[in-house]
Amino acid sequence: MSFLTPSIVSFIKEHATDDVRKLALCKCDLSGDDLKTALQQIEGLQKAKQKLPSWAANDKVVYPVQLSLEQCSSEATARFKAQLVADGDAMADLTGGFGIDFTFISRRFKQADYVETNETLCKIAENNLHAFGLTNWQVFNTDAESYLKQHNGQRFDLLFVDPARRDANGRKTVAPSDCTPDLTLLQDVFRLSARKVMVKYSPMLDIGTAIRELNNIESIYTISVANECKELLIIQNFDADVCSDIQISCVNIKPTTTDVFETSLNREKEATVTIASSIGRFLYEPNSSIMKAGAFKSICKAWGIEPLQQNSHLYTSQTFKHEVQGRAFEVIATCKINQNDFNKTFPDTKKANLTIRNCPLRQEDIRKKLKIKEGGDLYLFATTLMNKELVLIGCKKVRNSITDSAL
């Protein structure tokens, strides 16, 4: 199928950086389906420049509708997932989509199958796999269940699944049993068909629910890009009878480096911590992957920090801990959450960056009470201490969680 005629390609090159909404209203050489296709490609190209730089740099790539582009993995997370996979003979991506993950992971295998129910996405995948010079693949326009029945008896080194997180009415879902395909119904099939299964879920999914509903979980990865949690990745090992302990990896992909904090489900459960008796000189807010994984006790032992309170997820130390992965601050002063005390402690402050951690007050109510706007160099944390006292901790930033550079 030829997606892009010479006239469409020429139009895309001429208007690659233009506003798509304005282009749609302008008179031009293209019309009808050709114009619609060109606008879709321009919009896709513009989004890909940040999310998928290799795709944006390849002028043979064809882009799908925006929903598929929004739901696909970023190039950074796809590359990371491919690094977790051992070289093997055969793999299948049971929910191919735009094919970002498949394009990277498939390179590790002699044979790779792309499976997708949407015919247009299948044709786009064929085009793009050719565009990247890959030759070890086949495309199957069918659903995961039918594909596995057709390949009954074959055992794959890896099955990759990214279940759709919307129901028939377009509403978002997060529980494994509410996604499509429902992997809770495929566990016995997976046991017969795969050595390992890699499942990409929404970061909104509760990890405890996934552990209860899926079998043979070997490891779980919470993956962030620039401190924004993007994916929950689950690895199932069906070569093992049972996985006695689940390994937990908290991953934060940054522009030039990647932070990884590793623990396990049992280590986190068994770890003991001491609540800080007072606020030290430095304050830490772990990155979003650690927060998502719930590795709240493991980091205390690893980094020598103490929580301010059990549910605040803010940590302190008297000496600076360079190894902490997340935002780091130097404490300036603390005060009560009222205007008089705030004005005495932080006089003439009109702007501040406010974070709420284990505090019953809403951010907008605190801002109104203190008469401050967002911004500036002061960072305020409204939180509860061990003695149940509500306080504002005023800080200056020491390190940026996205780059980990000193500020």
For residues 343 and 146, give the distance between their C-alpha atoms in angstroms, rounded to a whole number. Answer: 67
CATH of 6-63 among 3.40.50.720, 3.30.2270.10, 1.10.10.1110, 2.60.40.2130? 1.10.10.1110
Q: Which helix (H) or strand (E) holds 112?
A: strand 109-115
Check residue 4 and give its pLDDT: 83
91 closest CA partner among 123, 136, 135, 146: 136
For residues 206 and 208, give the distance between their C-alpha atoms in angstroms, rounded to a whole number. Answer: 5
Check residue 399 and give its pLDDT: 67
Domain range 72-244, CATH architecture: 3-Layer(aba) Sandwich (3.40)
Check residue 400 and give its pLDDT: 59
Check residue 177 and give its pLDDT: 81
| Average pLDDT, consecutive stretches of 10 residues, N- to C-terminus, the chain (407 residues) | 78 89 82 87 94 95 92 96 97 97 98 97 97 97 96 96 73 74 94 97 92 95 97 95 89 95 96 94 97 97 95 96 96 96 96 96 95 96 92 90 51
| Cβ–Cβ < 8 Å for 307, 358 | no
| Cβ–Cβ < 8 Å for 48, 27 | no
For residues 243 and 247, give the distance between their C-alpha atoms in angstroms, rounded to a whole number. Answer: 10
Check residue 27 and give its pLDDT: 79
For residues 176 and 125, give the distance between their C-alpha atoms in angstroms, rounded to a whole number. Answer: 26
Instruction: Provide the residue ranges of all domains of the chain, joining segments of one domain with +.
Output: 6-63, 72-244, 272-399
Check residue 171 and give its pLDDT: 61
